[in-house]
């Protein structure tokens, strides 16, 4: 999603760490994750910037109605949230790319393979792979998040975790229970990431 404050942090300086969340249309899953991450990272928003985009987004399309109540609940303002298309430039400028599903992670890697290969994950994959000890030596929030990304990338492909659970299913046009499931999976993932970021 594109917001007026996308480029600068609250104090007018460029952020030190950029998180990009990706889904298909940039109307529901990625804006939800973007909004929740932004709300949870409010204490460190001067150094960490969160935005989103869609692999097949129609630029300027407003946020989906089913996502609006959750964005409001998390303290966001849905009125200015509009879709934007994923580009190589957005991937290149991101320090962490979080796809709603594995297909979105793969799309980011295709656009910018050198940059994204070790920095792109599905949201749930990243939440599964992060470990607080990876950031134990860092105090700055942006440096801690960078350490979590490095640790998660080194851990990818190890162990017997079921990667089939790494996707958040698109709730557009789905029954209310599917929408709730989508939100719960995003909330669970974000909380795990934030717990690792804050630990130590």
Residues 161-189 have pLDDT tens digits of: 566 689 999 999 888 889 999 999 999 99
CB 40 within 8 A of CB 97: no
Residues 32-90 have pLDDT tens digits of: 999 999 999 876 667 899 999 999 999 999 999 999 999 999 988 999 899 999 999 99
Pairwise pLDDT comparison (157 vs 162), residue with the higher score: 157
> pTM value?
0.91
Q: Which residues contact 29 (CB under 8 A, 6 or more apart)?
A: 23, 100, 168, 170, 171, 182, 186
Whether the pLDDT of residue 122 is over 80: the answer is yes
Structural domains of the chain, ranges and CATH numbers in brackets: 17-198 (3.40.50.2300)
pLDDT confidence bin for 160, thresholds 50/70/90: low
pLDDT confidence bin for 101, thresholds 50/70/90: very high
Within a 13 Å sphere around the CA of 26, how many CA atoms are in the beta-carbon half?
25
Give residue 21's pLDDT. 98
CA 104 to chain centroid: 11
> Helix crossing, 141-155 with 176-198: angle to 10°?
110
């Amino acid at each position: 999603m594109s917001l007026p404050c996308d480029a600068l942090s609250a104090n007018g300086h460029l952020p030190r760490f950029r998180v990009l969340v990706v889904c298909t249309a940039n109307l529901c899953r990625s804006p939800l994750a973007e909004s929740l991450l932004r709300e949870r990272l409010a204490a460190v928003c001067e150094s960490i910037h969160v935005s989103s985009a869609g692999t097949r987004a129609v630029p300027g399309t407003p946020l989906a109605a089913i996502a609006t109540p959750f964005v409001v609940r998390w303290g966001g303002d849905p009125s200015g949230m509009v879709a934007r298309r994923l580009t190589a430039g957005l991937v290149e400028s991101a320090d962490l790319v979080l796809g709603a599903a594995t297909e979105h992670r793969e799309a980011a890697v295709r656009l910018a393979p050198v940059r994204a290969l070790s920095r792109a994950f599905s949201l749930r994959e990243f939440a599964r792979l992060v470990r607080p000890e990876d950031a134990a030596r860092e105090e700055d929030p942006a440096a801690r998040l960078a350490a979590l990304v490095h640790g998660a990338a080194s851990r990818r492909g190890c162990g017997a975790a079921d990667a089939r659970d790494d996707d958040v299913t698109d709730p557009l046009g789905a029954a209310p229970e599917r929408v709730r499931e989508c939100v719960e999976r995003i909330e669970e993932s974000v909380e795990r990431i934030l717990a690792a970021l804050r630990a130590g």
